Amino acid sequence: MIHSRMILQLLSSFGHQINMRNHYYYSILLLALLLSGCRSEETPIFIPIDALTAYDSLLGHLEADSPGRGLDVFNESRRDRPMAYGLITSAEANRYRHTSDSSSLDRVRTCGNWLLENQDLNNNSIPGYGLADSWDAFSDGSINPVHNEYTITTAIAMAGLIDWHSIEPDTSIKHLIYEGIFAVSQPYLNTQFDSPLGIPAYSFSTPDLQKDVYNPAVYLAGQLMRFAAIAKNDSLSNLLRDKSQSVMDVLFAQALKDTDDCYFWNYGTSISTANDLVHACYIIEGIREYEIQDGQLPASFERVFCHLYDFQSDERWYEYVEPEYQNSDRNARLWGLGMLMYSMAVEGQRTLVEETLWPQIEEYHLGNGRFRFKEDDDRQMVRQDAHLLLGLSFYLYN
């Protein structure tokens, strides 16, 4: 019996080669294979789809008035997820920049307005964004309350707001966006919420202030540099740039090198394992934005970016770089593959996306533009989808 995944991958490759936009006959052939009993019980089925159809379908599944609302890993409740709002804003701002599609601008404004109106959901008078669920982030018994401010969530929301600001044609709205960016940047411009190493901490909860975690601080540093470029006075711009540089100084002081002489980082000082895929991409994104805004690095960006290739083995992408974890029992999560697609797309690695990454992401497709959380987990979650949406946007409109 022919293995179902082999057949489907051949079909997917065939579909890419002839650039199929109408999947009618393709679907008939696929259905016939399924009815013939070629599927093995242990292998999840997937439905091939092209990137543009996937992007449009993902948008179509979002709630019109609350695009960032949906499920997450924590429970079965549909809630507003600030990170999803930020990512969707960035994805659609990029599409609007290249297409001038009014529906994109409308969606950017819907998501962006939600972010502006919900900067202090825990009512502690500190602007920022977190999770819609309580969570013990480090499994140390300290449970962070709902809407506790997390640095990575705030940084991704800030990225969305800056992207909105860059394409918003209405000057009065641009002013409101600027004030919103300014507000969420302020808690990070002193040392109150720094970790022991002197970088923005993982979150604002007291136990988490003691955690040195690199990826949130670095992603934030990139956004602070972007904000510095549009700051309304030199004093604020210098303050933003100084904070960003201090993060990068600490980061490269803690850098490691792989066997190819590429830089990489462990998750933090208390977790001495290398970042997984999505968090490695967050670090690379922060460094990339820092350099684009004339930040000075002690090494070339190429020596940082090349670490991503460690996540690939035999033309397949994995969650971890350790060879012993690069197997079918350690499936990559959708958000890691989506963020990798973004990283590859902005660096012009289209061939690699088309030959290895997109065919793998297609395996997560359940049909009708819906994607599973992991290869062996059919749950569909809005933060995962939003990362894929970001990657697709910069692959399609770049």
Considering the domain architecture, whether residues 202 and 330 belong to the same structural domain is answered as yes
Considering the domain architecture, whether residues 36 and 65 belong to the same structural domain is answered as no
User: pLDDT per residue over 303-323, tens digit each?
Assistant: 999 999 999 999 999 999 999
Considering the domain architecture, whether residues 277 and 329 belong to the same structural domain is answered as yes
CATH number (domain holding residue 294): 1.50.10.10
Considering the domain architecture, whether residues 91 and 8 belong to the same structural domain is answered as no
Q: How many separate domains does the chain show?
A: 2
Considering the domain architecture, whether residues 306 and 162 belong to the same structural domain is answered as yes
- Mean pLDDT to the nearest integer, 362-384: 96
Per-residue confidence (pLDDT) for residue 13, from 0 to 100: 41
User: pLDDT per residue over 209-266, tens digit each?
Assistant: 999 999 999 999 999 999 999 999 999 999 999 999 999 999 999 999 999 999 999 9
> Which domain, by its residues, includes 378?
51-396
Considering the domain architecture, whether residues 290 and 362 belong to the same structural domain is answered as yes
Higher pLDDT, 329 or 82: 82
User: pLDDT per residue over 10-22, tens digit each?
Assistant: 444 444 443 433 4
User: pTM of this prediction?
Assistant: 0.90
Considering the domain architecture, whether residues 135 and 218 belong to the same structural domain is answered as yes
Considering the domain architecture, whether residues 145 and 271 belong to the same structural domain is answered as yes
Per-residue confidence (pLDDT) for residue 44, from 0 to 100: 56
Considering the domain architecture, whether residues 74 and 96 belong to the same structural domain is answered as yes
Per-residue confidence (pLDDT) for residue 43, from 0 to 100: 53
Considering the domain architecture, whether residues 24 and 57 belong to the same structural domain is answered as no
Instruction: List Cα–Cα distances, 266 to 252, 259, 271, 295, 302, in angstroms.
Output: 12, 15, 7, 23, 19
Considering the domain architecture, whether residues 230 and 166 belong to the same structural domain is answered as yes
Considering the domain architecture, whether residues 86 and 160 belong to the same structural domain is answered as yes
pLDDT band (50, 70, 90) for residue 329 = confident
